[in-house]
Chains A and B, each alone.
Chain A
Amino acid sequence: MTIRRSTRARLGLAIGAVGATAVVLAGCASTNSGGGSTAASSQPLIIGTTDKITSIDPAGSYDNGSFAVMNQIYPFLMNSKYGTAEVTPDIATSAEFTSPNEYTVKLKSGLKYANGDALDSSDVKFSFDRMVKINDPNGPASLLGNLDSVETPDATTVVFHLKNPNDQTWAQVLSSPAGPIVDEKVFSADKVTPDQTIVDGKAFAGQYDIKSYKVNELIDYVPNKDYQGNLGAAQNSGVTVKYYADASNLKLDISKGNIDVAFPSLSPSDISDLRTNKNVKVVDGPGGAIRYIVWNFNTMPFGATAQGADPAKALAVRQAAADLIDRPAIAKDVYKDTFTPLYSYVAKGFTGANDSLKGLYGDGKGGPSLDKAKQTLQAAGVTTPVTLNLQYNGDHYGPSSGDEYAKIKSQLENGGLFTVNLAQTEWVTYQKQRVDSYPVYQLGWFPDFSDADNYLTPFFSKENFLSNHYDNPQVQDLLAKEATNTDANSRKQQIEQIQDLVAKDLSTIPLLQGTQIAIVGKDVQGTTLDASFKFRYAPLHK
């Protein structure tokens, strides 16, 4: 009994100590009151995402996760209104070419940041100059390749001097990851500014101000009452974004109602499952991400440096492969229709997207044709089966890549025309080896900005990033013309012509186009998924 009494006494002492500690610690605690407006109409929302932030300094990151934050907190000279990809002046009153090499932007007057600093042309010049100067390896400075200099004749006028005249993508570049305007009193001129410095400096003039920030864990946004851009005030009183590493945890939380919105990104099977859940709504929108196969014109079968090099036979091999691929089956069976079949080089929804591949290959209606593939190979004198060493990556484009390429292997081998050796390589090694070692391989693309050119010039110009030795002077000539063509109709025709030419050459075979999918609680309204590919928090409300 003595021992029991002693134990009880110790237990009581321990509980008392914990309680006392709690009281003392509570007395020591103080909280930051934060700031921002609370005048908006709806209660705060919680958004879950699997995105990751690299840096919220525009000069230091070029990824979807970081850009998603920037879209809420920084103003842009040009931006797209909800529901459209077309860009119009945001914190500007006008933006236009005042001469072939000069793009002049007039700012609204009285602009300011959440910290009270004035926002004028000096900040705009500072924002672009520092991005070019810092040229961070992880940053988007390459998008400003056509920028020669920035001039500021007065406090509300900015003149961009461009190297190449009439750059039709420039307005889009100003709304891209290279375009956020930052406070010159907070940001460093020559190096990437730490996130906490930006948050502490309240250098925000977008729709939201950040109240508290814990990178890749939790961000608490409150509406910025000083925002004067064209997108209007937030429809909610605040948004908290919670970052998930595991998409299955995100799915569980949205299905249990622990969060209001999940974007992005869930697996196709999770999305399919949630479509039957009465507590949530699945909102689909146009997507800019595409998946495609790249042919190396040197090392592919019958390629320029391969054994038995023969350009005609190499072309026949590419065409036969295009005849056999069944895109609708891949979209349905592997991606549960979260991707759609893609028959054009420019993604659907953009100017000039024309389904150039649909009529040329397969059954002419989007399906495969074994007979046509046989005829193509026979006509070129190609002995079958042709061995294809097809490479893909399993850790960069999502876990379904394995299923996708198993399906493609099966489709290509159907009928015995091809023998496919399928191999997977880890992403970093994949990037090093793809250029010289892989004759046929998988890649994906997400546009830098919403313009058709972003699906053409990076791929089919002579110095294309694929480095697959594709070289068609006619295509390059048209690319140069469309990029500077001020006539919209004529430019559209040129974009279509480029696609028709590439479709015959088959430098790449487009396969699928992703859709944007957000899962929202049944009481959440205002979800906006459009071809700007910017997920805006401001129109959300419940």
Chain B
Amino acid sequence: MVTAVDAADFASPVTAKRGGLWRYILIRLLLIIPTILILVTVVFILMRVTGDPITAALGGRLAPAELARRLHEAGYDRPILVQYAEYLRNLLMGDLGTTLTDNRPVTQILLQYGSATLELAFYALIVALIIGMPFGLIAAYRRDRWQDALLRTGAILAYATPIFFVAILLKLILAVNLGAFPVAGRASTRVELELQSITNPSGIYLVDALRLGDPAAVADVLWHAVLPAIALGLLTAGIFLRLVRTNVIGTLGSQYVTSARSRGVGEYTRVTKHPCRPALIPIITLMGLQIAALLSGAVLTETSFEWKGLGFMLSEYLKARDFVAVQGIVILIAIIVAVANFIVDVLAVVIDPRVRY
């Protein structure tokens, strides 16, 4: 017979465990706030230290007194703490401000260009999976043979080579010399004009091209995405390849795979199906973590291929010292990365109970 005390003793660890999970999620959620605040503060200070947009744009034409007058009128000569307090207050009110150099609401910039970056990141992830998964499997199956050595070397090269260098190589060989792909842009001029004519475009060109119902436009958009997607996706593909290889090697030696062989399961199925699912779990975790790498890589990829997304605009606004725009873009990136990491952390706990929290 189980007494009430016994029952309570039995139930308490479970309750504690559940409570611990929610507590963990809450703490991880709250930690996003200081993370973003620190980043915002660092960006705020760095941008103020490196100059202002008026000097960057008009300094060469104005006398120092006139320049000082304009800076004063724009409020850029106020104490940095005053500017910071005002900025934080607006941020809390959800007002990211208006860009200083082209007078556009930052939210509009984020919406317009964020979709382009999202589209590129999506293509890059597909490239990473298409290259990383099968080649990781091959490397594991051919462990310590020449195929494995070749693929591992390729993987190291893929994530060690700077993105801008890969981009230049791809452009030079495949676009300029062979003419197989466009040099830059997200679509040809004709298609861009068609896409601009859509009412309420999503900004994701593939979706908009599908909405147009024009197969040529869809093909054009995909054709333009190939080189940028490879340039950005290779970095993650290299990491995926090595991770899949390591995990598959681990599972290939496990008892259930050996027993599958003894049951007469074919070689192909035994290699591709059985170890795949266990190997996928860390890949999903890694995909979340790779979002930060993809977004930072997007700055270089987008700049190289004139893919007009958030990374491209970040680079343009940095050059113009438009700190309002830069802060807005960085905050969005910080939020995406922080939220993605939060989701990954929670997923890791849910998927694998061995993870401590």
| A interface with B by C-beta (< 8 Å) | 3, 21-23, 25-32, 34, 46, 52-55, 57, 60, 62-63, 135, 137-138, 142, 192, 194-195, 212, 214-218, 220, 240, 242, 244-246, 249, 252-253, 256, 258-259, 396, 427-432, 435, 443-445, 458, 463-467
Contact = CB atoms under 8 A, between A and B. Distances in A.
10 contacts: A3-B269, A26-B211, A26-B213, A142-B66, A212-B196, A214-B196, A249-B184, A427-B56, A431-B55, A432-B55
B303 interface: yes
B193 A220 contact: yes
Contact of A218 (B50, B70, B196): B196
Interface in B296-350: 303, 306, 308, 312, 316, 321
B73 A137 contact: yes
A217 B308 contact: yes
Contacts of B70: 137
Given A25-B213, A217-B308, A32 B101 contact: no
A32 B103 contact: no
Nearest to A215: B102
B39 interface: no
B198 interface: yes
Contacts of B185: 249
A245 B306 contact: yes
Across the A-B interface, give the 10 residue pairs with the lowest CB-CB distance, nearest first. A26-B213, A431-B59, A428-B51, A29-B211, A25-B211, A465-B63, A31-B197, A137-B70, A249-B184, A212-B196
Most buried by A among B197, B212, B273: B197
Given A62-B58, A244-B184, A428-B55, 13 more contacts: A26-B211, A138-B57, A218-B189, A245-B306, A245-B316, A249-B306, A252-B183, A428-B51, A432-B51, A432-B55, A443-B60, A463-B63, A465-B62
Contacts, number: 135
B102 A465 contact: no
A245 B102 contact: no
Contacts of A249: 183-185, 306
B61 A465 contact: yes
B262 interface: no
B193 A29 contact: no
A464 B183 contact: no
B58 A32 contact: no
Given A25-B213, A26-B211, A32-B197, A245 B312 contact: yes
Contacts of A32: 197, 199
B211 A435 contact: no
B70 to A, nearest CB: 4
A506 B321 CA distance: 34
A220 B196 contact: yes
B102 A54 contact: yes
Contacts of A430: 59
A192 B100 CA distance: 11
B189 A428 contact: no
B57 A245 contact: no
A217 B51 contact: no
Contact of A428 (B101, B196, B321): B321
A46 B189 contact: yes
Nearest to B269: A3
Contact of B66 (A240, A432, A465): A465
B19 interface: no
Nearest to B112: A214
B219 interface: no
Given A25-B210, A428-B50, A55 B55 contact: no
Contacts of B207: 25
B351 interface: no
Nearest to B186: A217
A22 B63 contact: no
A463 B218 CA distance: 59
A39 B332 CA distance: 46
A30 B189 contact: no
A62 B66 CA distance: 15
Contacts of B50: 428
A244 B185 CA distance: 9
A252 B185 CA distance: 13
Contacts of B198: 29-31
Contact of B189 (A60, A215, A258): A258
Given A25-B211, A432-B55, A192 B192 contact: no
B101 A54 contact: yes
A348 to B, nearest CB: 21
Contacts of B162: none
Contacts of B273: 3
Interface in B131-155: none
Contacts of A427: 56, 59
A156 B25 CA distance: 70
B189 A138 contact: no
A215 B104 contact: yes
Contacts of B210: 21-22, 25-26
A445 B60 CA distance: 8
Contact of B60 (A52, A242, A444): A444
Contacts of A62: 58
